[in-house]
A = this chain, B = another copy of it.
Amino acid sequence: MSTRLLEHPSAEDIRLESVLHALADPMRLAIVRFLAESDREVGCSEIELAVSKSTGTHHFRVLREAGVINQCYRGTAKLNALRRADLDALFPGLLDSIIAATTRQAP
């Protein structure tokens, strides 16, 4: 099965401001929470977002370009996973506190 690569920032290029910007959106927070709960690679279509496909794609790209998620193609499917190890090393406690906050805030 072919694996195409998408561009990602290397860990040392991940910036706190970009990560916070990427997470400052309810839909992207929902994606991150879903990925955190899944703890595995997840196809975009597995995450139900009440938006058009192109809007969904945009949100995933913002997360990838900020360094929050890894995306790769496996055949025609785009798979997503949190960059938890990178983020935890760079910003200890940040991701966990944000995920916990989304859980508390959810209606």
Contacts and interface: CB of A to CB of B under 8 A. Distances in A.
Interface of A: 15-18, 20-21, 23-26, 29, 90-94, 96-98, 100-102, 104-105
Please state the number of chain copies in the assembly: 2
Nearest to A27: B17
Given A20-B24, A24-B20, A24-B24, A15 B105 contact: yes
Closest 4 CB pairs of A and B: A93-B97, A21-B24, A20-B24, A91-B101
Contacts of A24: 17-18, 20-21, 24
B17 A20 contact: no
B94 A97 contact: yes
17 contacts: A16-B29, A16-B98, A16-B101, A18-B24, A20-B24, A21-B24, A24-B24, A90-B101, A91-B97, A91-B100, A91-B104, A92-B97, A92-B101, A93-B96, A93-B100, A94-B97, A94-B101
A1 B10 CA distance: 53
Contacts of A21: 20-21, 24
